[in-house]
Amino acid sequence: MKNGDVSEGVAQPLEWKFSQVFGERTAGEEVQEVDIISAIEFDRTGDHLATGDRGGRVVLFERTDTPDHGGNRKNLEMMDYSISRHPEFRYKTEFQSHEPEFDYLKSLEIEEKINKIRWCQSANSALYLLSTNDKTIKLWKVREKKVKKVCDLNVYPDKAAGNGSVVGSSTSTAPKPYIANGGYSERPFGCSGKDFSFPPGGVSSLHLPVVTSQETSLVAGCRRIYAHAHDYHINSISNNSDGETFISADDLRINLWNLEISNQSFNIVDVKPANMEDLTEVITSAEFHPTHCNMLAYSSSKGSIRLVDMRQSALCDTHSKLFEEQEAPGSRSFFTEIIASISDIKFAKDGKHILSRDYMTLKLWDITMDSGPVATFPVHEYLRPKLCDLYENDSIFDKFECCLSGDGLRVATGSYSNLFRVFGCSEGSTDATTLEASKNPMRRQTQTPRPARPLGSLSGVVRRVKGADNTGVDANGNAHDFSMKLLHLAWHPSENSIACAASNSLYMYYA
């Protein structure tokens, strides 16, 4: 799928290596609920990475292995994607984005948990990003601010205890009292406290304090607050390619915002029925097209994806295309709709494909072909006999995210036991790798070859990719731990590098 053509080459299996970890807990250490990571996002250049947690904090990391240490690199698109790099990031800064609130009118507690983070265009060496919890979206500006200090004060060495360092004070041999209120005063300028005696040698001259900037510090400031526009929990925000607008989506509505206007938004999608008892599906995820500012896609709890063109009408309830997979006859069960619900969608960088994640599978869709997905990657097929148990412990409602590589040749998603899967999706690819997000030296990756199926000869027929790990054990041969789940991950926009969150730890892998 490189440059929009899946037939250009076959993605060879990659050897993934552990790169870095931030915040890994020690053995026996209890993880606080507020420290669990709930959102991950690379910026457009890949030089900055942001994470949000359940405590409402946003933590920023910056790339350090580039010549300009995290600045915007030139000719980003000309970089050789095939070269293995070892990207290195360092902690940059953090700030409290959201605080817990309570809606007294609805008797509703609003958590501070960060649901999504999206980077905006940088300007004047400042970073801009959007973060949201269940109800409120905020625009943040992070910039370097010079720390100003006052020096060259009129403070004398013997009276400077507690007044800081002495800069520029001088004395002479002859006392020179100064005139105040028409007479001589015994209190020289600069003496503090109740000691009004002359300093030894008197005052030679008065110095005006000088303000200097010697250090810089990172300062995060909230520039806009977009609030009171959603009655239900916000599950998605997405920036438009025009650099001026973004959307926010909750269970029943999608709103369009201008970045400069925080007190009004336009409702462009509304699936709320006149009678809530008639409600059959809700919106689960929404994203703008990467290059066409008039197009967006949103997914539903019924496993469908709708492509919307905002040029058709102001209210986009009528979709321009509908993507859904038809049920096999006789396959319907109590769990059918639950496991069909799409938890995340992502556009490929070329905008010609959409990746979706439901509970059991990853699906790749061609936006020009709505008869079915062009590829299906089984992720949790081995869990099908355990759906009753997963329903009882609510694991079946876990919302796993998905991501695509910048060249469009691979896709990735998370699983249980802190595992994540990487699949090749180009024509003839047999790449299917399972990795464990852990610093454990015994950690290893497993590869299960898949029989190649040509993408070019589909003609509207759904392809199901075989070869998923159906053993029910993790990469180390242990039974899957459903309390350890890797829900959030992001792929570097121009390199084979993945950032993933396991509990409160951020793991970096590269190939």
Contact between 445 and 435 under an 8 Å Cβ cutoff? The reply is yes
First to last CA, the chain: 19
Q: Is 445 within a domain? A: yes
Q: Is 164 within a domain? A: no
Which DSSP string corresponds to 295-323? EEEEEETTS-EEEEETTT-SS--S-SEEE
Q: Which pLDDT band holds residue 206 (cuts at 50, 70, 90)?
A: low
Q: Is 396 within a domain? A: yes
Would you say residue 377 has pLDDT above 90? Answer: yes
Query: H/E element holding 96?
Result: strand 89-96
Q: Is 4 within a domain? A: no
Percent of the chain with pLDDT strictly greater than 70 = 74
Comparing 247-251, 282-286, 362-366, 464-468, the range with the smallest average pLDDT is 464-468
Would you say residue 1 has pLDDT above 50? Answer: no
- Domain containing 445: what range? 17-147+216-325+335-510
Cα–Cα distance measured from residue 181 to residue 476, given in angstroms and rounded to the nearest whole number: 86
- 87 or 395, which is more confident: 395
Q: What is the pLDDT of residues 44-87, one digit of tens each?
A: 999 999 999 999 999 999 999 875 554 444 444 434 444 445 78
Cα–Cα distance measured from residue 111 to residue 237, given in angstroms and rounded to the nearest whole number: 17
**Average pLDDT, integer, range 245-258:** 97
**Average pLDDT, integer, range 30-46:** 93
Q: Which pLDDT band holds residue 306 (cuts at 50, 70, 90)?
A: very high
Q: Which pLDDT band holds residue 427 (cuts at 50, 70, 90)?
A: confident
Which DSSP string corresponds to 3-56? TTBTTS---PPP--EEEEEESPPPTTPPPPGGGSEEEEEE-SSSSEEEEEETTS
Q: Report helix, strand or coil for 125.
A: coil
- 79 or 443, which is more confident: 443
Q: What is the pLDDT of residues 104-156, one digit of tens each?
A: 888 889 999 999 999 999 888 899 999 999 999 999 999 988 777 777 666 65
Specify which of 77-91, 93-107, 193-207, 235-249 reaches the highest per-range mean pLDDT.
235-249
DSSP-derived letter for residue 328 is P
Taken in order 47, 6, 288, 124, the sign of the CA dihedral is positive
Helices and strands per DSSP (H, E), number in the chain: 2, 33
Specify which of 4-8, 69-73, 232-236 reaches the highest per-range mean pLDDT.
232-236
Mean pLDDT, the chain, rounded, equals: 81
- 283 or 477, which is more confident: 283
Instruction: Report which of 250, 281, 21 is spatially closest to residue 115, judged by C-alpha positions.
Output: 250
Write the CB contacts of 323 (distance below 8 Å, at least 6 apart in sequence): 304, 305, 306, 307, 354, 365, 367, 370, 373
Answer left, alpha or beta for residue 442, where phi above 0 means left and psi between -120 and 50 means alpha: alpha
Cα–Cα distance measured from residue 127 to residue 141, given in angstroms and rounded to the nearest whole number: 6
Q: Which pLDDT band holds residue 24 (cuts at 50, 70, 90)?
A: confident
Cα–Cα distance measured from residue 394 to residue 396, given in angstroms and rounded to the nearest whole number: 5
Q: What is the pLDDT of residues 308-362, one digit of tens each?
A: 999 988 888 888 999 998 877 767 788 999 999 999 999 999 999 999 999 999 9
Q: Is 142 within a domain? A: yes
Sheet holding 344-347, edge to edge: 344-347, 353-357, 361-366, 375-378
Q: Please tell me the predicted confidence (pLDDT) of residue 76.
A: 40
Which DSSP string corresponds to 249-310? E-SSEEEEEETTEEEEEEEEEE---SSGGG----EEEEEE-SS-TTEEEEEETTS-EEEEET
Answer left, alpha or beta for residue 463, where phi above 0 means left and psi between -120 and 50 means alpha: beta
CATH code of the domain covering residue 95? 2.130.10.10
Q: Please tell me the predicted confidence (pLDDT) of residue 154.
A: 63
Q: Please tell me the predicted confidence (pLDDT) of residue 191.
A: 45
Q: Please tell me the predicted confidence (pLDDT) of residue 9.
A: 52
Q: Is 271 within a domain? A: yes
Q: Please tell me the predicted confidence (pLDDT) of residue 83.
A: 47
Burial of 365-376, coded b for 16+ CB within 10 Å and e otherwise, reads bbbeeeebbbbb
Q: Is 433 within a domain? A: yes
Q: Please tell me the predicted confidence (pLDDT) of residue 415.
A: 95
What is the 3-class SS of 360-423, one letter each residue? CEEEEEECCCCCCCCEEEECCHHHHHHHHHHHHCCHHHCCCCEEECCCCCEEEEECECCEEEEE
Q: Report helix, strand or coil for 155.
A: coil
Please state, in angstroms and as integers, the Cα–Cα distance from residue 239 to each residue in 72, 289, 315, 394, 499, following that order. Answer: 19, 9, 19, 32, 21
Q: Report helix, strand or coil for 65.
A: coil
**Average pLDDT, integer, range 35-51:** 95
Comparing 19-33, 144-158, 187-201, 391-405, the range with the smallest average pLDDT is 187-201
Q: Which pLDDT band holds residue 472 (cuts at 50, 70, 90)?
A: low
Q: Which residue has the tokens 């605080």?
A: 99
Q: Please tell me the predicted confidence (pLDDT) of residue 106.
A: 81
Q: Is 168 within a domain? A: no
What is the 3-class SS of 82-94, one letter each residue? CCCCCCCEEEEEE
- The distance between the two most distant Cα atoms of the chain, rounded to a whole number of Å, is 107
Domain count, the chain: 1
Q: Please tell me the predicted confidence (pLDDT) of residue 77.
A: 41
Cα–Cα distance measured from residue 278 to residue 216, given in angstroms and rounded to the nearest whole number: 57
Would you say residue 379 has pLDDT above 50? Answer: yes
